[in-house]
Amino acid sequence: MSKLSRRGMLKLTAASLSLTALPVAGFAADIDELVIAYNVNLPSWDPTVGTSAVNPTIQGIFQSVFDLFIAQNTDLSQAPGLITDWGWNDDNTKVHMTVREGVTWHDGSAFGPEDVVWSLERAANETSGNPIQFIWSTIGNFEIDGNRITADVLRFEPTLFKWMSFLTGYVLPKAYYEKVGAEGFEAAPIGTGPYMVDKFERNAFVRLKANDAYWGGAPEFKSVTIKFVTDAAARVAEVESGNAHVTLEMPYEEYDRLNGSKLAGVAAPVSDIGMVFFNDIEVMTDPNVRKAAVMAVNKQAIVDRLLSGYGVPIDTLQAPGYSAYDASVSTPYDPDGAKALLAESGYSTDNPVRFKIQTTRGFKPKDYEIIQAIVGLWRRVGIEAEIEVYEVAKHFELRAADQLAPAAFYNWGNSIGDPTTSTGFAMFGPSPHSVWDGEDLTAMIGPLWGEADEAKRIDGWKAVDRHIAENALVLPLFQYVQPVLHAKGVTVVPHASGALLPALMTRS
């Protein structure tokens, strides 16, 4: 029996390492198959139920496979999708929708208005588990005439059609779903989207292949693999090593280090803002304290120093590009003004006003550090805030129970850019998401929910935002910028909703 010499062992080891290296090297050289290192897992393929249905980060994957009722442009405006025309009748008692013709499902079967009606009825069903059921249930009694659908308005909801480009607003295949059931659909989902599911390993990856028959045009990359890499350091390593071509949501310092050298990058504002809720309890009932807390915060300095300049300071809960954004509303940085206001209420740096501020740590980029900076700025004018760190799950629970501290940091996404889904739900007292219970604000907002005149509705929300800013009912901080790193051979088009869409990626 021959013995393995030390030299032979070394040769064998080197050969083994070379073999293991082969797939990696081949991967990096061949860009025909686009690989994306994604920051979250995909728990479920049903985009209309459960926690994943309302997780904004996952929507990019859903939108690759399924189509929204109404498509959305990269600037959040709506565009004809599976529904090409939509609207209300004159007295807002009926809605009408025209369904696109010539569309097929991924299994080759024909898409039609029955699929739209079934998807809407399923979404409106109380037992379906759709968290947005309260919106979908505002219409019913559907009728189909050719490719035109009409329905009765059961409760007028001016944002109904906007929701058709938002969470759970997806069209699912009626016949296929009824044939395979929920479990079968989970195992082999089909949609009408630009990509078809080729292979899915839960918590590992999803491999997509191009839907060449896509009504919007076949996507450029014929094969896309989305790897779920939840750790930011590992995601950066994936693109740096060439194992992946695109990744998102990395520390801004890493983005700056790699952008322009080995890789290219795109960093664009997305429909997500950082803000501090004020709860109208304890000292926050004092307008001087609230106004001083807003005036004392230098948002631009926070963006520049903590977010490396990747952020857009905001003064209302509307970011630039949202329907009710009003650049004329501003709350300038004024530490002297803040001191004066606090002095009116008997507070000073020697006798500071004290309250608690809650924040997450690591949930959003530099969240804890931002609050530390704000507390430091407050201290200079006479506000002594104690920081309490909690998990985001606790934030949700406390907010729903109206038990947040006097101040609490959070981020608020709004990928349809409508004021109802930002100011509305964040500040309307009866909403489970609001902790501000002021009756004056509730009275201002109340009539806007059902306002049918769109211009009047938007003007109304602008007035609400102005009122909120003037009375410092909340502390808006900045609009987030989403960093995306990619190989130089790929062009990535950012979407203002924050969804990373492979269908928008092309070869450079």
Partner 1 sequence: MTLLKRALAQLCTTAITLFGVAIVVFFVVRVVPGNPIAMMLPPGASAEDISRLEALYGLDKSILHQFVIWLGGAVQGDLGTSITTRQPVLELVLSRLPATLELSMMALVIAVAIGGVLALTGTRMRGTRVEGAIDVGNGMALSVPDFLWGLVLILAFGVLWPIFHISGRASPTLDFEFATKFYLFESVLRLRFDVWLDLVSHMFMPALALAIPLAAIIAQLLKQSLKETMHLDYVTLARTKGYGENSVILREALPNAILPTLTLVGVQFTFLIGGTVIIERLFSYEGLGNMAIDAVINRDLPLIQGIVILFALIFTAVNLVVDLSYAALNPRLRHG
Least distance to partner 1, CB of residue 202, Å: 7
**Choice between 225 and 479, CB closer to partner 1:** 225
Residue 19 binds to partner 1 (criterion: CB under 8 A): yes
Which 118-147 residues touch partner 1, going by CB under 8 A? 126-127, 129, 131-135
Cβ count within 10 A of residue 292: 29
Least distance to partner 1, CB of residue 203, Å: 4
Q: Which of 421, 479, 482, 497 binds partner 1 (CB under 8 A)?
A: 421
Q: Which stretch binds partner 1 (CB under 8 A): 36-44, 92-100, 311-319, 487-495?
A: 36-44
> What sign for the dihedral angle of Cα 52, 138, 72, 99?
positive
Which 46-105 residues touch partner 1, going by CB under 8 A? 46, 49-54
Residue 15 binds to partner 1 (criterion: CB under 8 A): no
Q: Which of 340, 398, 463, 493 binds partner 1 (CB under 8 A)?
A: 398
Q: Which stretch binds partner 1 (CB under 8 A): 79-87, 196-204, 351-359, 485-493?
A: 196-204
Least distance to partner 1, CB of residue 126, Å: 6
CA distances from 299 to 296, 305, 419 (A): 9, 10, 22
**What is the C-alpha to C-alpha distance for residues 476 and 161, in angstroms, rounded to an integer?**
27
Residue 167 binds to partner 1 (criterion: CB under 8 A): yes
**What is the C-alpha to C-alpha distance for residues 503 and 482, in angstroms, rounded to an integer?**
18
> Which residues fall within 8 angstroms of residue 8, CB to CB, at 6 or more apart?
none
Number of residues binding to partner 1, judged by CB under 8 A:
72
Taking the C-alpha atoms of 215, 216, 221 and 227 in order, what is their torsion angle to the nearest 10 degrees? -90
Which residue in the block uniquely carries the two structure tokens 């599911």? 197
Instruction: Quote the tokens at residue 244.
Output: 């992946």
Instruction: Quote the tokens at residue 191.
Output: 């949609």
Residue 461 binds to partner 1 (criterion: CB under 8 A): no
**Choice between 72 and 421, CB closer to partner 1:** 421
**The pairing of beta strand 246-248 with beta strand 33-38:** parallel
**Choice between 247 and 331, CB closer to partner 1:** 247
The helix or strand, by DSSP H or E, that contains position 248, with its residue range, turns out to be: strand 246-248
Residue 155 binds to partner 1 (criterion: CB under 8 A): no
Q: Which stretch binds partner 1 (CB under 8 A): 264-272, 283-291, 390-398, 489-497?
A: 390-398
Q: Which stretch binds partner 1 (CB under 8 A): 84-92, 220-228, 295-303, 481-489?
A: 220-228
> Which residues fall within 8 angstroms of residue 233, CB to CB, at 6 or more apart?
none
Which 247-306 residues touch partner 1, going by CB under 8 A? none
Q: Which of 21, 301, 389, 452 binds partner 1 (CB under 8 A)?
A: 21
Residue 402 binds to partner 1 (criterion: CB under 8 A): no
Residue 204 binds to partner 1 (criterion: CB under 8 A): yes
**Choice between 247 and 482, CB closer to partner 1:** 247
Q: Which of 86, 111, 176, 205 binds partner 1 (CB under 8 A)?
A: 205
Burial 12-48 (b: 16+ CB within 10 A, else e): eeeeeeeeeeeeeeebeeebeebbbbbbbbbebbbbb
**What is the C-alpha to C-alpha distance for residues 246 and 491, in angstroms, rounded to an integer?**
10
**Choice between 17 and 301, CB closer to partner 1:** 17
> What sign for the dihedral angle of Cα 340, 346, 347, 349?
positive
